[in-house]
């Protein structure tokens, strides 16, 4: 996976509105008007966020020319997850050591 | 998990040098000089990236005042992974449908 793709994916995810748009699209395709509705945002503001998501390949446009629904794309999400999964062993290990330390402290207190 | 933390985490991950620094630190603590070595980059350039990672809480400074080693922090990585994991069902489903479609096309060809 090219580093530029991961750069674009993570940059696109670094915004709460864009993450909320992806969450909405995970439930099914939606037009720009449908996507704008739950946000206190103008359609042009939403369109800007959609452009960022589209350029990153996280969403694409469906075939219906009238509605132009946006749909979620699987691959960049899968690749970003894959990248982060490499660190699971690290953070699970850290949390286990913290848990063990807390148990030890509790045992000493009693 | 506050949205601002996820914003900072994903923004920090949107750079190949910063991702490489995290990969290095997953193998153990390292000083700024040690981190700068594998990159064709000055120590000030690396320090800038380290500041972004530190502000995002992805790394912290160890206790050795002389070496000031940087260490990887588990929590923001775990939270970002958790956020992305919600989409696993979506992209695994998409890939399964693509596989099924390809199998169908191959069967028709034969």
Span A32-56, pLDDT tens digits: 989 998 888 888 999 999 999 999 9
Rounded to an integer, the average pLDDT of A67-84 is: 93
CA dist B76 and B10 (Å) reads: 9
Tens-digit pLDDT profile for residues B57-101: 999 998 888 888 999 999 999 999 999 999 998 889 888 988 999
Length of chain B, please? Answer: 110
Residue with the larger pLDDT of the pair A22 and A2: A22
Q: Do B14 and A26 touch (CB under 8 A)?
A: no
A84 closest CB neighbour out of B75, B84, B95: B84
- Give the chain A residue nearest B81 (alpha carbons): A84
Cross-chain Cβ contact B83/A19 below 8 Å: yes
For residues B38-73, one letter each, b for 16 or more C-beta atoms within 10 angstroms of the residue's C-beta and e for the rest, the string is: eeeeeeeebeebbebbbebbbbeeeeeeeeebbebb
- What is the least distance, in Å, from the CA of B44 to any CA of chain A? 22
Task: Provide the whole-model pTM.
Answer: 0.88
Distance CA A30, CA A67 (A): 8
Q: How far apart are CA B35 and CA B21, in angstroms?
A: 7
Partner-chain contact A84 B72, CB within 8 Å: no
Residue A29 backbone phi and psi in degrees, to 5: -55, 155
- Cα of A40 to nearest chain B Cα, Å: 17
**Tell me, what DSSP letter sits at residue A39?**
T
Determine which of A81, A88, A89 to mutate to test the interface with B (most B C-beta atoms within 10 Å): A81
Average pLDDT over residues B20-31: 93
Which of A16, A22, A26 is the closest to B7 by Cβ?
Answer: A16
What is the ipTM metric for this complex?
Answer: 0.88
Instruction: State the Cα–Cα distance between residues B85 and B16, nearest whole angstrom.
Output: 22
């Amino acid at each position: 996976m090219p580093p530029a793709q991961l750069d674009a994916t993570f940059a696109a995810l670094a915004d709460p509105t864009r993450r909320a748009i992806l969450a909405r699209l995970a439930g099914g395709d939606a037009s720009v008007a449908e996507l704008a509705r739950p946000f206190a945002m103008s359609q042009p503001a939403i369109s800007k966020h959609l452009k960022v998501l589209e350029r990153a390949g996280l969403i694409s446009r469906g075939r219906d020319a009238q509605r132009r629904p946006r749909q979620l794309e699987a691959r960049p999400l899968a690749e970003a997850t894959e990248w982060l999964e490499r660190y699971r062993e690290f953070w699970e290990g850290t949390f286990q050591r913290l848990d063990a330390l807390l148990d030890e402290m509790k045992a000493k207190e009693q």
